[in-house]
Chains A and B, each alone.
Chain A
Amino acid sequence: MTLAEKRKLGSVLVVGAGVAGIQASLDMANSGFYVHLVDRSPSVGGIMAQLDKTFPTNDCAMCVISPFLVEVGRHLNIHVIPCSELERLDGEKGDFKATIVNHPRYIDTEKCTGCGQCRQVCPVVAINEFNCGLDLRKATYIPYPQAVPLAYAIDRNACIGCGMCEKVCLAGAVTYDDKTKITELEVGSVILAPGGEMYDPKEADSWSYSHPNVVTSLEFERILSASGPYRGHLMRPYDREEPEKIAWLQCVGSRDINRAKNSHCSSVCCMYAIKQTMIAKEHSAHELDTAIFYMDMRTYGKDFDKYYSRAKEERGVRFIRSRVHSIEPVENGNLRLRYVKESGESVEEIFNMVVLSVGFKPSSGVETIAKKLGLTLNEQHFFRTGDIRPVATSRDGVYVCGVSHGPKDIPQSVMEASAAASVATSDLSSARWSATRTPQLPPETDFSKMVPRIGVFVCNCGINIGGVADVPAIREYAKTLPHVVHVEDNLFTCSQDTQERMKQVIREKNINRVVVASCSPRTHEPLFQETIREAGLNKYLFEMANIRDQNTWVHKNNPDLATAKAKDLVRMAVAKAEYIEPLHQVKLDVKPAVLIVGGGVAGMEAALGAAEQGFQAYLVEKTDTLGGMAHQLRKTWQGEDIPAYLERLIKDVTNHSKIQIFLNTKPVHFTGTIGSFTTTLNDIHTGNPNGIIEHGAAILATGGREYRPEGYQYGNRPDVMTHLDLDQAMKDTPATVMNADTIVFIQCVGSRNSDRPYCSRVCCTHTLKNAIELKKIKPGMNIFVMYRDVRSYGFRESLYQEARALGVHFIRFDPENPPQMNIAENNILTITVTDHILQRPIVISPDLVVLAAAVLPNENKELFELFKVPVNAEGFLVEAHAKLRPVDFGSEGLFLAGLAHYPKSIDESIAQARAAVSRAVTIVSKDGIMVGGVVAAVNPDRCAVCCTCVRACPYGIPFIGNEGHAVIQQAECHGCGVCVSECPGKAITLQHFTDQQLIAKTRALFYQPAMNE
């Protein structure tokens, strides 16, 4: 076959269903590709599902991730393949054949309803891995209650084969004879997201980990979790006493080549330790003393430094810069820690509990996959990736994201996942929508003006409901309720055959409202809605009564009251059903184009990404050149050539037929909603219009700049320069730099202070890289780095090691006592700094002083107001959610990338730009956006144009339209209903949650209706 004839497949494979794998799958499935999502474990979710809270917002991890889990589980174009592994990959980019090994689960996920009866009867207990072994589970188990797929599995290592589960399973889902199977999948590309594992302190005998009160940080997450082994009650494992004093030991298994043989920094431990101290303090009934023992506090991400100072200043967390050299069990289950303070003083302190902040190591799957697929690993056994192609592996068509190619936090993983989704599908764009499924549905029947005819289906859920409540009595009772024309009870209402029957009954009896009394709408409403839709009913003509999760499961001991309550709940559901109405979603056209504002690396990568995906890209730049800040950089941290990359990128962007570039241009007018925006562009100099463009999404990549330092004689002397000045000098006049015998680097100039309380993230790495280069050229040069914390996160730690090995001197200073510059009368410059180890001031006379100046966002007040996007106090753009929506804005259809979001290295900017493309493509790849449903609707007659909704809406969606009443665009409304409850004229309704419906439901609890005729 010639190149042109090569087959491009419209399906993709994702290996690993942690948060990265989930995000990549959703992005691709939502932009026209069929996704096979493979995971070794019985359910999706990865490590994030085990976390209690997430930094720096302290959001509940499960609350944040579970909507994503549900979406993956129900997505028509995501095929979740649990208990499975990738065995081999043949073929090439665009046309792979993947061989998958499906391990036996012993329970058929198609049949299992998740009722849990099997677990109830299982006589065997086993270690509960989900709770890190802190408690036990049954051999028949589900990893956690929110698991997707919601199906049980049998742990055959623990199972004694008693057959109890098979006997009680009324769905017939237990399959003891389940065997390993092999499946083959045809996919166009592969994304690997097998993730990481936490370092096991048992590997080295250094931390008394065998003591029950020494736990790893992940174990501590489970201890804090409300659904964990202690139900959120802060206790130590040894005696279940509430600890009063807890120590955290940082860098366990990280930055440690002696004990753990891991040189990398795990990037997340500083932050999660701070989080754990704060959450533990909240959980503790008494004053809890928390101490973190650390080497460098690496709070380098967005809002991290503020979080750190909050812990220190407001919560009284003790931060002790010291490595603990021994942990010794003493009486009462306590532990004695010995450490040496920076001042050299030896200290002994007793703690009730010790948490080991364990680092990341690659998941055991990484090495296996690498071998099977022929991929290169780095020295730390993670997948090897470069900076300029940050998510590409050594094999074409195979991409990587998440922790498997380097330790990172959730937002970074999510960003990379989207980036991988974007690059993995850009070559497959010709096959978009070719492998996806679309539901074939009959037209909806029009029931308007017809009296309600309600059908009620009461579920026994095996014996989960029927074993406690009197289902026949509930069924008979439901018959007496108004407008009810059909009632039946089912063994499993959710089973395939009942679904078919339900459709048949709806048609036969002309049922126009359906009530199911079973489990939770959170898990099952979409299924039933699909079913009634298949029977020609609008999916909103549906209501559920939760008589299992919120009734029989919690009132087991009181069958009579459970039956009575079930009747109440059914009556309430029927009462609401009487008033529910069909809601019709409207399809809005989508303009298949993306606007990108900012022509730096992030903007260009975004434009190129969108164009490669087959969409028109409009790239708007306010200056007369593309490239932005990158023009001033020389090499990435791994040493890749930036000027050559930039030249290539500018050429690609300029020559791409789908990219239209507007230089010297700024947007001056912006209107529209997701999928269909209109932006007017003006020439920045003449003020004349440059064009009016229509686009379905927009990406803001407005960049940043280097801070021009005040002080340190910057600008007055040629021997004081910033990093970018140094880079320029190295390029233009290297001799001026190399003549120097002594160079001082001063870190955090303009960062981490009261004006800019954030870490500029890139400066430590930049300093290390330059120091190494200088030392290599001129080994005799004296190089001093004056720092507060060396923040060489991830593999960048290797630069720190190398710099030290090359003899670079590192001197730490306190913010209260920064390095002082003196200019003597003879114009000789000296720097004085207090050395913490020597405890005395050191005076250095450098030939050159390099200031690690802060990274600032570009000021674009007008532009940001035009797009109505928020900025934080420091001027950085604010994303929709710090964890799971790191490139989205709160306003739908708008995305961000690059330095405008936060300081970051070029590889991170590229990844974020590609991620923004992925997110934008989920919109522009569709031929229409469905809007409506559970959204607010304004009744113009009642509107008093009082602006209450305008002010109350948390998203700023309502406005007063030209017609003289409030307007709430269906496409933009998030459906929370705040405006509805505030509106003084009762002019707004939240569809499907109207006053009438909810008051009817309320009333029904207290009124027994008259008998139905």
Chain B
Amino acid sequence: MIVADRKPLVEIQEMVANSRKILVIGCKGCVTVCNVGGLKEAEILASSLRIGRNKNGKPMEIDETVLERQCDPEYIAQLKDKVGNYDAVISMACGVGPQFLSEAYPEQKFFPAVNTKFFGGAVQHGIWEERCAGCGTCVIHHYDGLCPIARCSKSLQHGPCGGSSKGKCEIANDVVCIWDLIVRKKMEQGRLDDLRLFQPAKDWRTARDGGPRRSIREELAS
């Protein structure tokens, strides 16, 4: 899933400082699952903003709603009769949400309430970790199911670098050195020879480096 963090309240407050009627839109997709942009968080954000405004003596109206997903135009269209009533709309979805909203309703101002961070999953309740960098050419099978592109802080294809210490990365004690895991797994399984192979320089064209990406499925697209 896409993992995001809520923006600091102050930043959101500034975005909507001059608005009098605001709609907060949650998304039932990834951001609900990663506990950052579902109905619960929409309510919390709305209440926090109201408290801030009431404190400053500039009351406003805030409504909350949640869409099934903000990355499909059909759900965006459900807001057709609604968005016009507000002078600011805050999206709690990933970066896709505010853009789909802006494209559908060019007259309206949309603001992102979250910082979209990475593709990952929950390792336990409340902790999410990156697993995929979306490079467009998956090489996980070379590394026994562990991706050094996303999980090595230098994206090394031949690791570990000299900074690997006691299974941790040089950048922080709480960051796992993925190469340590890869090497140990290969050792345990007696397949260390796999790591004697030279991997040619990666072709980054399929990643974001190749420009904005699209996926076209001929048999589906009309």
Contacts and interface: CB of A to CB of B under 8 A. Distances in A.
**Does a CB–CB distance below 8 Å link A and B in the complex?**
yes
A586 interface: no
Given A944-B32, A946-B32, A946-B35, A984 B125 contact: no
Given A984-B38, A984-B41, A951 B124 contact: yes
B191 interface: no
Given A944-B28, A944-B32, A946-B32, A986 B125 contact: no
A985 interface: yes
B82 to A, nearest CB: 19
B39 interface: yes
A944 B124 CA distance: 17
A942 interface: yes
Interface string A943-958: 0111110011000000
A546 to B, nearest CB: 27
Which of A942, A947, A948 is most buried by chain B, counting CB atoms within 10 A of its CB?
A: A948
B40 A947 contact: no
Contacts of B36: 984
A947 B43 contact: no
A515 interface: no
B33 A944 contact: yes
Q: Which of B28, B29, B66 has the most CB of A within 10 A?
A: B28
B122 interface: yes
Contacts of B32: 944, 946, 984-985
Nearest to A945: B33
Consensus secondary structure, chain B interface: mixed
In this complex, the interface size class of chain B, counting residues with CB under 8 Å from chain A, is 10 to 19
A964 to B, nearest CB: 13
A945 B30 CA distance: 10
A946 B35 CA distance: 9
A983 B26 CA distance: 14
A944 B38 contact: yes
Nearest to B43: A986
B64 to A, nearest CB: 10
A944 B43 CA distance: 17
A985 B39 contact: yes
Contacts of A948: 35, 125
Contacts of A983: 40
Nearest to A944: B32
Given A942-B39, A986-B39, A986-B43, A947 B28 contact: no
A984 B39 contact: yes
A236 B40 CA distance: 52
Contacts of A942: 28, 39
A976 B167 CA distance: 39
A390 B122 CA distance: 51
Contact of B33 (A952, A982, A984, A986): A984
Contacts of B124: 951
Given A984-B40, A985-B38, A985-B39, A951 B33 contact: no
Contacts of B34: 946
Interface in A964-985: 982-985
A980 to B, nearest CB: 10
A945 B1 CA distance: 13
Interface in B13-52: 28-29, 32-36, 38-41, 43
B40 A952 contact: no
A945 B122 CA distance: 13
B52 to A, nearest CB: 18
Contacts of A951: 122, 124-125
B122 to A, nearest CB: 7
B123 to A, nearest CB: 11
B214 to A, nearest CB: 27
A996 to B, nearest CB: 12
Contacts of A952: 125
Nearest to A981: B40
A983 B28 CA distance: 12
B199 to A, nearest CB: 36
Given A946-B35, A948-B125, A952-B125, A985 B28 contact: yes
Contacts of B66: 985
A946 B33 CA distance: 5
B91 to A, nearest CB: 16
B40 A986 contact: yes
Contacts of B33: 944-947, 984
Contacts of B43: 986
Q: A942, A944, A948, A952 — which one has the most chain B CB atoms within 10 A of its CB?
A: A944
Nearest to B27: A944
A876 B146 CA distance: 36
Contacts of A985: 28, 32, 38-40, 66
A947 B122 CA distance: 10
B38 to A, nearest CB: 4
Nearest to B28: A944
A987 to B, nearest CB: 8
A947 B32 CA distance: 11
30 contacts: A942-B28, A944-B28, A944-B29, A944-B32, A944-B33, A944-B38, A945-B33, A946-B33, A946-B34, A946-B35, A947-B33, A948-B125, A951-B122, A951-B124, A951-B125, A952-B125, A982-B125, A983-B40, A984-B32, A984-B33, A984-B35, A984-B39, A984-B41, A985-B28, A985-B32, A985-B38, A985-B39, A985-B66, A986-B38, A986-B43
Q: Which 3 pairs show the lowest CB-CB distances between chains A and B?
A: A951-B125, A984-B38, A946-B33
Interface of B: 28-29, 32-36, 38-41, 43, 66, 122, 124-125
Given A942-B39, A952-B125, 16 more contacts: A942-B28, A944-B28, A944-B32, A946-B34, A946-B35, A947-B122, A948-B125, A951-B125, A982-B125, A983-B40, A984-B33, A984-B38, A984-B40, A984-B41, A985-B66, A986-B43
